[in-house]
Amino acid sequence: MKQHSFSTVAALLFATSLIAPAITKAQAPDPKGIEFFEQKIRPVLAQHCYSCHSDEARAAKKLKAKLYLDSAEGLLDGGESGSVIVKGKGADSLLVKALKYDGLEMPPTGKLSDEIIADFTKWIDMGAPDPREGRKPGAAKRVINLEEGRQFWSFQPLKSITPPDVKNADWNRTAIDRFVAAKHEEKALRPNGPVSKEKLIRRAYFDLIGLPPTPEQIAAFVQDASPNAFEKVVDELLQSERYGERWGRHWLDVARFAESGGYEFDGFRPGAYHYRDWVIRAINGDMPFTEFVRMQIAGDKLLPDDYRGAAATGFLVAGPYPGQITAKTVERIRYDQLDDMIMTIGGSMLGLTLGCVRCHEHKYDPIPAQDYYGVASSLARTAHGSKTYDPDPAATQRAVEKHRADGEPLNAALKKFASEELPKRFAEWQKTELAKQPETPRWQVLEPVTVEAERSWLKMLPNGIVAHDGTFAIESNARRRPRAARAAEEYTVTTHTFQKNLTSLRFDAFTEKSLPKRGPGVSGDGSFELLEIKVTARPLDRANLSASQRALAPGQSDQAESSGGLRPPARQDSDKPIELKLKPVFAAFEDKDQPLANVFDGKPATAWVVRANAGKDNAAIFEIEGGLPGFASGTELTFELNFRDLGIGRVRFAMSTEANPATWAGDVAPQHLAEIRATLAANNNLIPEAAREPLARWFSPFDLETAKVFNTVRDHVNREPRPSLTEVYTTIPGGQDVFLLRRGEVDNKQGKAEPSFLQVVATAADKEARWLPKPAAGQPAIDPRIGLANWMTDAEFGAGALLARVMANRLWQHHFGEGIVGTSNDFGAQGERPTHPELLEWLAAEFVKGGWKLKPLHKAMMLTAVYQQSNDVSPDNLKIDSQNRYLWYHKPRRLEAEIIRDALLAVGGSLDTTMYGPSLLDNTPRRSVYLRVKRSELIPFMTMFDAPEPTQSIGERISTTLPTQALTMMNSPFVRQQAEKLVARIRPTADVPLETAVDRAYQFAFARLPSKEERDRMLAFITQQTDANPNITLTEFCQVLFCLNEFVYVD
Amino acid sequence: MNLPKTNMIQLPSRRRFLQDSGLGFGSLALASLLNQETNANPLAQKQPQFAAKAKSVIWLFMTGGPSQVDTWDYKPELQKRDGQDLAGADPKTGFFTTSGKCLKSPFEWRQHGESATWVPDIFPHLSQHVDEMTFIHSMYLRQNNHAPAAIELMCGTNRPGLPAMGAWMTYGLGAENQDLPAYVVLHDTRPRGDDQIWSAGFLPKTYQALTLDARRKEAIDNLARDGKHSDAQQRAQLELIRTLNQEHAATRATQADLAARINSYELAYRMQMAAPEALDIAKESEATHKQYGMDQPECATFARQCLIARRLVERGVRFVQIFAGKGVGGDGSVNDVPWDCHSDLQTNHRSNGLHTDQPAAALLADLKTRGLLEDTLVIWGGEFGRTSDSQGAKGRDHNPNGFTIWMAGGGVKRGLHYGATDPFGYKAVEKKVHVNDLHATLLHLMGLNHEELTYRFNGRDFRLTDVAGSVINEILA
């Protein structure tokens, strides 16, 4: 892309003013300050300080502490002891402390007068106005030239490359081979031919899924003579779920994934494993890499209120973070946290070392500090935390639908019962029992017909109590409708009555031993804060009943209803309910100044608070002003309770038809009998056909058969499936503005930073606006993290080309042992240059063209001649290229820690392939990717075999050889156990000849048969061991196999 | 194709080869700097850059942070002004909030030795060795909580994932005794920070500490098999492993790591013998047991740890670190930070004195008798000091701004007091020594230049001393 040519400095200024305009320039010092400096400060500096702290001192080799006090810049930069002045804070400045002989003693020749020290204090308090220009010498500032920087190979746009023509057409199979072969020809190297099929399949299995092939899998491949036999193996492995576990682990290395905070208490993060699971799922699903990146940077913003988005941004917060923060360290720790995110994004995705830019311009790469703080600002509103999600809302929805369908036959049975059985049973009861029933009590308990809550799930108990069932919904997922302004929880309970002339209502809140502090509130202290109660009434018009209401109000299921069980149907305007005007009469307990009356004062912010009086059953009664006459078809009464925080554990509603004033006095009993009496009274002592189904409810306490059918329906409704909610460790809102820090010091702020990206890989004419456009009027602003993700995945004008190169290189690295760029986390000037630049370019371009899919890229790499080469080492080639930089043979590699353990389990036949879920200690037979990663207590087996310290992005693991590794293979109970298990596989019964057992063990462990010599030697060993102790014969032999290099190396 | 034999090919020494064998890039620079042939064994003993004063270090880590003004930094002014305002006190220095009022030391102080060093009565044994010690009274660091401070003190900077100094030293010097690990950590209850304070960090795991847990009586995992088979059997097994591994390696001539792995089985076999022997304190005389205090329940654990430490350095272990475990307790401090005297420093320090004083003194005496003190550097100190003002009525909060450590033996002056805190012992004011300076000095004593001991990780050459540190020449003997 063409750019105007500016001088170096102009280019920077241009960039500064347009790309990151928000880094506010310090104001010009006022003339008075300058005058003060010239009169009081400069003479002292010149007389007492310059002899050791100036360019002249440096020339005379007298410079001390790398501190220059002869320029404004030097003074601001400070020296070895850090900053010497904190603008505006004279007393806190090291310079003043040194003058005061507090810690340092300057000048060493003798303490200056208090007056001079006071001048310095005052001058720094004024902001240290300093007109002196000139640059700090010595460590001369490198001026970053972006235009020049963009010429560096890795920062250029992707080029379109044609694979070269090569002479050795016999060897190469694919385009990739032609790039490699061209280098061979250039260097006069003769590449190897194909490796044996046994070795090839072992190589492919370990590379793609990290497990050895079974003897059967080997045999199938060896016997498959078709030309695409290997392609079939590769395809199969790429479809295996083990693939995501293997390659997910590679990504977890670069993501410095761990499940604890490190530092003081290394607090465990129980929800952190969701990120690991997300990575495995994404890789198994071949998620386009751009989406993979976008989700990790901004998943919570791209898919708000979605488990997947939250799990993905576990990436940003996977780093270490102190568990105990003191007031003195809080701000610095926040910048540490941002630094951790930036370093990880840099290393894992962009192949750049960004951490050093926190304190100074990048020493080698064209990355000025303002770019670092621009990225930091994009992350500014990102904090660590946990949120609750339904990991599979679709499954929950399916379960709800199934539940509804399962309810249909129950409803039908109730309906059938109501029309066929109920009338005669009721008639009999009416004749013999009704007259013996007691009088209607003052307080009739209303039986709930439907219950729902905003943030939790409620159930209906048989005694009319509405109970919180202990499940809380996701806070951010308002499940139903907008809540009252200040309410965090809302209960809605509907009840039915056929009685007339209601006068008063009663509300009970019960304690229960399962509630926190026995309740009645669900809050930790058993309290509740009830903001408002709203009661509405309307005709029991059947057409308006929801599915679940229908289930309990039989006879209505013929009215087809499409809306889900979680949502009530849309109401018609004509159904508008009447709100009852209530007058509070009594509450059993009220906290001081927070009375029941607050519920009815029309102010949503005030509440009836029961905290001081928590732990006791509570109740309140209200009069219905003017009474409620009731509707001819029956009345639906709906109670809406708004709570400030959480709700009440056990709630019950009751009504009265007795004349006011309302009073506590009198019995409390279910409404059923009165409903029966009311229905009979209105219908000449008979039950009309239309009233049969409601009657099932009212009659059920008096008739076992009715109760059975009716309760079946109610129990089913109570069993409505809940989502299986889980806590995810993820990004949560939080954080503060980010400032550009001089030398990375929080006391040295240079102005607020605004979101911006790395200019060297940002060539769009419209700059940041391309990725982070200003929202249209009235639209919410785009989250800067989405902007960051947009920029990172923009292959044309953003960092996408670099991103593609870095990832294509990682794939190559794990297939060939080493990347085309050897330093897979550093594509900058300090990193290595690509051995095959055109090949990397071509791979990156193919990757982008193919929709950023990894699986085709794996396949392209593995179907090559270069991948399938043998391990033979030719002395001639070795003389030319001893390091195999040009890939003339396939280098054997030691397996990683996880794969050694997995291979032991697999060969022992004990591997459990259960996927996902909370992490485990290493006494599990599951794959090692599911082992716990607690920073202060890493699993010894993993650490011993070089699993990395999960504190920074790791692109290349080191492979060490330690005697403790040998001790483990020789002596550990785990290895011993797998040896014993292998024995059971190779010689399940004593009639299996030892030769066969040895052969089979070789196949399991090495994917090959032993040579005759090897077999004989092993048999001799077994015999010798048998002589000594027959019980351990074959186990010793199997353990020997595990101790062999061949077991932990793949050719 | 004809397969070449291993010895026919000159193996190049190069970065990747070194990485494969566990030696990082930085060490190549070091290796050439040391003018020494590259060895496939990354733990092979390396010559120091210049004459070393010390061959081994034993750090008696006083976990939890002992109070300087109640141990080795006597402040008459503080004793006089008990209960008065402490000028310039910052109540937020530590983890909680302090009173700002001076709290005098509750102990009886007396001067000892030719150096006339003031010692409180909680150290009746160590007080007899003050003339062997160099005290640095002006230590400071930046973190004010246990784990971060311990990480800073051990790794140079408070950031997890960095190598601890024991790992750096092993990386720089290799192991003197190939049959034993070069870097050993002894602990009781694991201190705050756990593995992070003795981590090999980004260095190869070759330099990882072997940790010995007092609660498990210093057992080493996988050191021995279930005992069902004889040594002859194991030898036969190892012979077979070696033969087969050699055949495997012969056809993979460029893989130097294969040879190292073959060797590792030999080393492991020898370690099986050597480690139990080194840890077997039953071999010590009863008099020695008594000298260390093995017969006293108050200090038996620390005594055993000190005695093991002596046996280890005697056998060439490079760096031994003992994290002092719980004392007798009684002030409410917790096991993983025994010196953490927030509520009652007198009870706390007395109990920790009982736990550590006699064994530490015995260690000095024993090393001296055996002529080991000359090239063994013994260090006593915790992750920070305490406030001179009180927390609550009788406690002290964390204080990283000034604290004392002492060293004895290998290459340091005897009976020297270096640096000073203010008259109340609150802050280091004179000849301040940061952790980086201490590390520079320790590396110097071991014959290493701290600016040249580097390791490249994620694009940067890291040092134990980060970008700072100066050798404290005045304390060198």
**Closest Cα of chain A to B259: distance in Å?**
10
Select from A356, A958, A965 the Cβ nearest to the Cβ of B204: A958
In a 13 Å sphere around the CA of A521, the CA atoms on its Cβ side amount to 21
Domains of chain B: 41-221+292-475 (3.40.720)
Residue with tokens 């019995």, as numbered in its chain: A667
**Closest Cα of chain B to A326: distance in Å?**
6
| Interchain pair A959, B19: CB under 8 A | yes
Please give the pLDDT value at position A59: 77
Q: Which residue of A has its CA nearest to B179?
A: A963
Q: Is residue A450 part of a domain?
A: yes
Interface of B with A in 426-455 (CB under 8 A): 427-429, 432
Structural domain ending residue among the three candidates A655, A670, A690: A690
- Chain A residues touching B271 at Cβ < 8 A: 963, 967
Instruction: Confirm if A674 and A558 have CB atoms less than 8 A apart.
Output: no
Interface of B with A in 243-272 (CB under 8 A): 243-245, 248-249, 251-255, 257-258, 260-265, 267-268, 271-272
Q: Is residue A214 part of a domain?
A: no
Burial of A973 (0-12, 13-18, 19+ CB in 10 A): exposed
C-alpha–C-alpha distance, residues A455 and A489, integer Å: 6
For the stretch A181-198, what's the b/e string if a residue is b when 16 or more beta carbons lie within 10 angstroms of its beta carbon?
bbbbeeeebebbebbebb
Peptide bond into B124 cis (omega under 30): no
Select from A959, A1044, A1051 the Cβ nearest to the Cβ of B257: A959
Interface residue of A92, A106, A256, A263 to substitute, partner B, most B CBs within 10 Å: A263
Please give the pLDDT value at position A134: 67
Greater confidence (A215 vs B330) lies with: A215
| Interchain pair B147, A265: CB under 8 A | yes
C-alpha–C-alpha distance, residues A376 and A384, integer Å: 15
- Chain B residues touching A329 at Cβ < 8 A: 143-144, 148
Please give the pLDDT value at position A487: 61
Pairing of β A650-656 and β A466-472: antiparallel
Structural domain ending residue among the three candidates A70, A96, A125: A125
C-alpha–C-alpha distance, residues A720 and B377, integer Å: 71
Please give the pLDDT value at position B40: 58
Q: Is residue A1030 part of a domain?
A: yes
| Interchain pair A1017, B20: CB under 8 A | no
Q: Which residue of B has its CA nearest to A1010?
A: B244
Select from A828, A953, A1029 the Cβ nearest to the Cβ of B228: A1029
Q: Is residue A783 part of a domain?
A: no
Residues shown for chain A:
1051
| Interchain pair B225, A940: CB under 8 A | no
Please give the pLDDT value at position B327: 65
- Chain A residues touching B459 at Cβ < 8 A: 353, 823, 825-826, 828, 830-831
Residue with tokens 């930094």, as numbered in its chain: B73
Q: Is residue A282 part of a domain?
A: no
CB pairs under 8 A between A and B: 233
C-alpha–C-alpha distance, residues A847 and A850, integer Å: 5
Select from B21, B244, B271 the Cβ nearest to the Cβ of A1044: B244
Report residue A750: phi and psi, to 5°: -115, 10
pLDDT tens profile A997-1044: 999 999 999 999 999 999 999 998 888 766 555 556 788 899 999 999
Please give the pLDDT value at position A908: 96
Give me the DSSP letters along A746-759.
TT-EEEE------G
| Interchain pair B143, A826: CB under 8 A | no
Q: pTM for the whole thing?
A: 0.79
Peptide bond into A108 cis (omega under 30): no
3-state DSSP percent of chain A in helix, strand and coil, to 5? 45, 10, 45
C-alpha–C-alpha distance, residues A954 and A400, integer Å: 44
CA torsion sign for A1040, A1042, A1043, A1044 is positive
Q: Where are the alpha helices (DSSP H) in B128-201?
A: 146-155, 165-173
Mean per-residue pLDDT, B389-397: 94
Residue with tokens 């009781």, as numbered in its chain: B188
Interface of A with B in 329-368 (CB under 8 A): 329, 336, 343, 347, 353, 355-356
C-alpha–C-alpha distance, residues A994 and A992, integer Å: 6
Name residues whose C-beta falls within 8 Å of residue A873's C-beta, 6 or more positions apart in sequence.
Answer: A889, B3, B4, B9, B252, B253, B254
pLDDT tens profile A220-238: 999 999 999 999 999 999 9
Q: Is residue A470 part of a domain?
A: yes
C-alpha–C-alpha distance, residues A310 and A814, integer Å: 29
Name residues whose C-beta falls within 8 Å of residue B122's C-beta, 6 or more positions apart in sequence.
Answer: B70, B71, B107, B349, B350, B352, B353, B354, B357
Structural domain ending residue among the three candidates A71, A102, A125: A125
Name residues whose C-beta falls within 8 Å of residue B174's C-beta, 6 or more positions apart in sequence.
Answer: B42, B43, B44, B45, B46, B182
- Whether A828 contacts chain B with CB within 8 A: yes
For chain A, what is the domain count? 3
E strand spans, A306-357? none
Name residues whose C-beta falls within 8 Å of residue A9's C-beta, 6 or more positions apart in sequence.
Answer: A143
Mean per-residue pLDDT, B386-407: 96
Q: Is residue A56 part of a domain?
A: yes
Name residues whose C-beta falls within 8 Å of residue B437's C-beta, 6 or more positions apart in sequence.
Answer: B468, B469, B470, B471, B472
**SS3 per-residue string spanning A590-626:** CECCECHHHHHCCCCCCCEEECCCCCCCEEEEEEEEE
**Closest Cα of chain A to B121: distance in Å?**
31
Residue A313 has which token pair? 């941004």
For the stretch A428-454, what's the b/e string if a residue is b when 16 or more beta carbons lie within 10 angstroms of its beta carbon?
ebbeeeeeeeeebbbbbbbbbbbbbbb
- Chain B residues touching A1016 at Cβ < 8 A: none
Report residue B108: phi and psi, to 5°: -85, 130
pLDDT tens profile B233-253: 788 889 999 999 999 988 887
Nearest C-alpha neighbor of A929 from the set A304, A434, A280 = A280
Residue B227: band (very low, low, confident or very high) from pLDDT cuts 50, 70, 90: low
Q: Which residue of A has its CA nearest to B253?
A: A873
Give chain A's residues under pLDDT 50. Answer: 1-27, 139, 476-486, 544, 546-574
Q: Is residue A414 part of a domain?
A: no
Nearest C-alpha neighbor of B274 from the set B211, B207, B220 = B220
Instruction: Confirm if B206 and B164 have CB atoms less than 8 A apart.
Output: no
Beta-bridge mates of residue A494: A450, A638
Interface of B with A in 298-357 (CB under 8 A): none
C-alpha A325 chain-centroid distance: 23
C-alpha–C-alpha distance, residues A803 and A799, integer Å: 6
Name residues whose C-beta falls within 8 Å of residue A651's C-beta, 6 or more positions apart in sequence.
Answer: A465, A466, A491, A493, A507, A508, A509, A510, A641
Q: State the average pLDDT for chain B.
A: 87
Please give the pLDDT value at position A591: 86
Instruction: Confirm if B40 and B256 have CB atoms less than 8 A apart.
Output: yes
Q: Which residue range is the domain that position A638 belongs to?
A: 441-566+575-690
Q: Where are the alpha helices (DSSP H) in A461-522?
A: none
Instruction: Confirm if A504 and A497 have CB atoms less than 8 A apart.
Output: no
Say what the ipTM of the complex is. Answer: 0.79
- Chain A residues touching B147 at Cβ < 8 A: 263-266
Name residues whose C-beta falls within 8 Å of residue A160's C-beta, 6 or more positions apart in sequence.
Answer: A845
Cβ atoms within 10 Å, residue A616: 15
C-alpha–C-alpha distance, residues B314 and B318, integer Å: 10
pLDDT tens profile B80-100: 999 999 988 998 888 888 999
